[in-house]
Structures are given as structure tokens and as C-alpha cells.
Amino acid sequence: MVQILDADGRRHEDPQYSAYAVDLDAGDLRAMYRDMVLTRAFDAEATALQRKGELGLWAPCVGQEAAQVGSAHALAPRDFVFPSYRELGVAQVRGLDLRETLPLFRGVRHGGWDPHAHNMQIPTLVIGAHTLHAVGYALGVQRDGDVGTGDPTRDRAVVAYFGDGATSQGDTNEALVFAASASAPVVFFCQNNHWAISVPTTTQSRVPLVHRGGGFGVPSVRVDGNDALACYAVAREALERARAGGGPTFIEAVTYRMGAHTTSDDPTRYRDRAEEDLWRAKDPIARLRVYLERQDLADAAYFAAVDAEAGELAESARAYCTSLTGGPAEEMFEHVYTLPHPLVTEEKAARAAYEAGFADEEDAR
């Protein structure tokens, strides 16, 4: 397993991947730390909002910030991201206003943002389905000639983020087949957080998940998912190779879901406190902070400023969430297909007629 920054915040050299992280300066590392702290603060506030009845559901990502933020920092602006519903840290790095993730979970919008504004698709709630979307998009990039030109302003790559549970889905396996067959410029970034809802990874797979990629002929690497530097390094290598025409990569980032699968889940029913305490000691944010302090790359004033910004973000999230209201019911029929669809048109008309019927009854009274 690739590791550059260990659980105690000590830096180690990796013979293959350290070179990809060597040019990260103090500003880059502070930016990673800030993105991780803001992600966790927003995540905690969204969880609290759901508990108060302001959101219908929320999928916490606490504990997985390094895997998401570290890898996302390796993305180029032209790269395109296909997330699952838990990639809050990736959204933060891509410049998305995190409040735009709330309308979907409040039930007032189907999505929440324009995918092309930040080259990040809205989340796909069907487990693993978006891996096929990512490969399809990557094939389009390939056919557009935006791979292997040597021009950094043109070459692009695609990344699909998903959890360990998605590796048991047929869609993910089909995506790996297509990606390998076509040498598509796509990176499969699997966050192995050890629990697919209530089923441990060891039940899903008899071998480490990293071997899934090799079975399809896809180069694969296992990385410490709580090490932001290592996640950056392996993602950067995979993305650079994809942009150069080297084809797909499968990355298994070994991390841990510290919270519930979603707010409808109770993890105390299937895992014990000792396991959580073991992983709490590997906290990705604390790890990077210790390194920054030990190397004199950030001072107390910096950490205080980040904490203050996190508090402001949480407060802003509360105000924004409670202000969200649903639009007209007809919105549910919009953006289902790119072009008008006769079945959707028929269903929209049927619903309008159904609502009009209530008005007729009221008039009759």
C-alpha cells in the first residue's frame, strides 16, 4: 500500500510515487488542509440539519476527506468527474459552492448544479451506475482526439469515484471491461471505507479490491486513503497516464467511514466501538495538521483562521438550507432527457389534468 505520510504525521519516501508529490509546496499543503476542514465542517452541519428534519437524507463522508481532497487536487481543470453521493471533498476542490449539494437531499431539486460549470457531474444515486457514464464520457473524449496530443490545454481524463460496495455491482464490472477494451482515459477511484452499508468488504471480496482491476487487465494501485499526499501522488500518476493515452487505472484508497452510511443507518448494529477507535487514531485531518506543524508550514493563526472559516460555512449552510423551497411540481418533468420525450410529455399532461380535477371539484361546491 502506497503511503507517504503515516498516521503519526511522518513523511516517508515511496520509490515510485514520492516523485509525484515532491513539488507540493507549503501553499499546496495548506490548501489541502483547508479543503479537508471545510469539507468536514459542512458535512457535520448537513448531518445535523437532517437530524433536525431540514434534509430528507444525508450521506456523511467524515474520515474520507484525504482520499477525496488529495486525489481531487491532482485533477486538471479540463478533467471531468463522475461522483457518487458522498464526494463532498471533491466538490470542494472543484470550486463548487457546497450549499449546492443540499437541494437534492432536501427534495426540492433533481440535481443542484450545472455539471459543466466545474466539470463535475451531479451525483448518481444508483450504486455504480455512474462508472459506465464515466467510461462513456471518456470514450467521447478519446474520439474527440483530446488524448495523447501532448498539449496540456487539450488532453483530458475522466475519474469515477465510488465506494467498495459498488465493486459488487454489474455496472462497475462492465465499465472496467469497456475501459480496458478501449484503453479509455478514465481513472476508477474506489474509496474502500470497509463497510458497504452493513456488509464488510471482507464479505464482498475474498481478495483486496485492488485485484479487481488486475482481473480486467487494468493497472491497479492500493493507497493509504487517509494520506492526502499519497492519494494526490497516485491520482496524479494515473491521470497523467490517462491523458497521455495510457488507458485506465484502478485505485483502491483504503480508508474508513467514521459515520453512518447515511443518516437512515445505525452503524452500532453491525460494528463495534473498538474498530472505530482504531481508525479514529488515523484521522486524515489530524495527520496532515501534525505534519504542517512539525515542518513549520503553518502557524496557530492559520489554523484559527481555517476554523473560523469552517464555522462561517456551517452557519451559511444552515441559513441556505432553511431558505430552500420547492419549485412548481412541473419541474420534475424537466431535464429527464436532453430532447423532448413523448412519454414524459404525456405524463406531464396527465398530472396537470389530475390537479385540474381538484379545482373543478372545488368550483362545484
Annotated active-site positions, please? 257, 261, 270
Grid cell locating 186: 478514465
Rounded Cα distance between 192 and 208, Å, is 10
Rounded Cα distance between 65 and 36, Å, is 5
Rounded Cα distance between 289 and 141, Å, is 38
124, 175, 186, 194, 223 from 166: Cα distances, Å? 12, 11, 16, 12, 18
Q: Are strands 199-200 and 195-196 parallel, antiparallel or unpaired?
A: antiparallel
Rounded Cα distance between 191 and 127, Å, is 13
Asked if 192 and 209 count as a contact pair (C-beta separation under 8 A), the reply is yes
Rounded Cα distance between 143 and 261, Å, is 38
Rounded Cα distance between 173 and 83, Å, is 17
Place of cell 496524479: 236
Please give the DSSP secondary-structure letter assigned to residue 109: -
